[in-house]
A and B are shown apart, each in its own frame.
Chain A
C-alpha cells in the first residue's frame, strides 16, 4: 500500500509540473498585460517589462520561474493587485477560508445527498422518491450563484437571519450561506447517483439472498445496500471537488468571502500572472490530492480493490 501511495505521489508531482508549464504557456496568450494603465507611456511600459524580467525569451523566463518555485518555493511577486508583494503572502492567508468553506460544503452536500439518495432509492417510484428526485434535479440544474443570490436576499436581507456578507468576527456563522449555496450541487449529484446505485444494488441476486435469510428490510438496506452503493458514489467525489472550486469563484464574490476564488477572479481581471498561476496550481494540487484520497477510500470500502494486505 505504501509503495502504491508513493508511486501515486510521484506521478502527482510530475502532473503538477506539467500543469505549471501549461498555465505559464497559456498566460502568454492572454490579451493585455499587467500594466494596462492608460497613464503609462510606451517607454514606461518597456521599463516595467525590463524591471520584472518580462522581456526575456519565453524559455528563459519559464526556467527562472520554475527554478524559483522548486528551490525556494517562490511563486513570484504580484504585478498588479498588490504590487511587488510576494504572491504566496497574498494567496496563502486566503487559502484556509476557501478550503474550510469547500470542505463544509462537501461534508454537508454529501451527507444530505446520502440521506436523500437512500430515502429515494429505497422507496423507488413512490411520492417520496418523486419529491427527492425533483429537488435533486433542481440542485443539479440551477447554478450555485443563483442559490447564493436567493439565499442572501431572503436570509440575509429580508429576514436578517444571517449576515449578507462574510464577516471576520463570526467566521462560522457568516459562512453558512456560502456553504449551503455551494453544497446544493454536491447534494443533488450525490442524491441522484446514490439513488441509481442503490436501486441497482437492491435488485441484485445477493440482496435477494439476504432477504431469503429473513433479514429485516431496513437492515438489508443498511448492512448491504448502502455500503455497496457507496462504492461507486465515492468515485464522483473527485469531479465534485472541481465543481466546488469553480462554484467558489462566484459564490465567494457574491458573499465577499476573502478566499482564493475571489482572488483568482481579481487576478484574471488585472492580468496578475503570478497570482493566477499560483491559485490555479493550488486548485490542481487539491484536485489531485482529492483523487488520491478517493482511490485510497475506495480500497477501504471495497475489499476487492485493496492492494496487497493490510490495505
Chain B
C-alpha cells in the first residue's frame, strides 16, 4: 500500500486585511509532501510561498486569515498515529505539539533570526528543553554540541557560549539549522535559507541541508525564488505564481519537460555556465496586484503565449503524467500547439545529450 503523505494542503486560501482593501495572497492551492522527500516551492517575490508555509505553523501576521482550506499533518505521538488539521487545531496545540517539535522552520536572513542578547547554545537548547526532549541541562548541552557538529561548526564547546554577533552569516545560518533540528522534526521548512548568503556560503548550506536529509530522513519544503538553487536538492517542484500553483511535477519533469510559459520564463532566466554567448531571457512586466486579482490566468498579462480564454477563465490543472500537472490553457486539446522558447529548448537538449549523471545540476549555474 502506498504511504500517505506526511503533509497535505488542500484548497488553501489566505487573505490579508489592509487599510485599502483585502489582499488575496493565496488563491486556492493544494500540494502534498511525502515522507523524507524534498519539495521545492518556487516563485518570485510576492507569489505567496512564504505565507503558505508560515500559515502551516500559524505564524502569519495578525491581519492575515486562512479563509478556506485544510492542512492535514500525520505524525506519531507515544506510538500512536495522529492526523490533525494544522489550520484548525488552534495555536495552543501548535505550540505544544507541532512547532519546533514536529515541524521546524529556517528563515531567510540569519542576521535577524537569532536573538542578539542570548547565547547561541541557549537558543538551540530552548526548544528541546521546552518540549522536554532532554532530562537535564547537561544532556541538553551534550545534544547541542552534537547538533553543532552535525551542522559543521567547529569548536562547538566554545561556540555555545558565544553570542550571535560573534558569528559570521554562514555560521549563524548553521546555528538556525541546528535550532530547527533540535527536536528531530519530521518536516523542515526552509524558507529561502540561502538567499541572504553569498554564493560560496550558499552552496555550502545547500550541501549541508542535503546531507542532513540523508542522515535524518527529514522531509523538506524548500522555498526559493531561484529554480537554479533547488535543481540539486529537490525531488519534486511546485511553481507558484500570484497565489496559485501553476505547474507541479518531479524535478526532472519540471527541468526537462516544462509546460507552463511561466516555468519557461523562470528556466530561461537562469544564467548558464556553458560559456557560450547565449541569450538570457527575462520575464517582462510585474506580478499582478492581488487586491483585485485578475480574471483568468494571472500570468496571461506577461505571457507571449496568452490566448483569449486566458483573460476569461483560470485554467484547471491539466495532467501531463501521473506526477506532472500544469495549469495552462495551452494544454487543452483544442489549444494551438506551442513550443517552449527555442533558446531554452536548445539548452535542455544540450544537457540531455551530454547525459550527465548529475542531471539538473546544469541549471544550478555553478
Which of A's residues lie within 8 Å of B, judged by CB?
Answer: 203-217, 219, 223-224, 227-228, 231, 301-304
Contact = CB atoms under 8 A, between A and B. Distances in A.
Nearest to A216: B95
B163 interface: yes
B130 A213 contact: yes
B118 A213 contact: no
A215 B113 contact: no
Interface stretch (B11-19, B98-106, B323-331, B335-343): B98-106
B59 A205 contact: no
B57 A212 contact: yes
A216 B91 CA distance: 10
Contacts of B109: 205
Contact of A209 (B61, B94, B97, B114): B114
A73 to B, nearest CB: 43
A224 B118 contact: yes
A210 B126 contact: yes
B117 A227 contact: yes
Contacts of B130: 213-216, 219
A214 B127 contact: yes
Contact of A212 (B96, B105, B112, B163): B105
Given A205-B112, A206-B112, A213 B117 contact: no
A211 B115 contact: no
Interface in B239-281: none
Interface size range on B against A: 20 to 34
Contact of B99 (A212, A231, A301): A212
B101 to A, nearest CB: 5
B100 A212 contact: yes
Contacts of A211: 59, 95, 99
B107 to A, nearest CB: 6
Given A213-B100, A214-B95, A206 B114 contact: yes
Instruction: Provide the main secondary structure of the chain B interface.
Output: loop
A207 B116 CA distance: 11
B205 interface: no
Contacts of A217: 95
Contact of A303 (B61, B100, B104, B117): B117
Given A303-B163, A304-B163, A213 B127 contact: yes
B59 A208 contact: yes
B148 to A, nearest CB: 16
Given A205-B113, A208-B107, A224-B118, A213 B57 contact: no
Given A219-B130, A304-B165, A213 B99 contact: yes
A91 B127 CA distance: 57
B187 interface: no
A223 B109 CA distance: 22
A210 B109 CA distance: 14
Contacts of A213: 99-100, 104, 126-127, 130, 179, 182
Interface in B153-179: 163, 165, 176, 179
Nearest to A224: B115
A144 to B, nearest CB: 34
B127 A215 contact: yes
A214 B96 CA distance: 6
Closest 8 interchain pairs by CB? A214-B99, A214-B100, A213-B100, A213-B127, A205-B112, A303-B163, A212-B105, A209-B113
B131 interface: yes
A227 B182 CA distance: 24
Contacts of A212: 57, 59, 99-100, 104-105
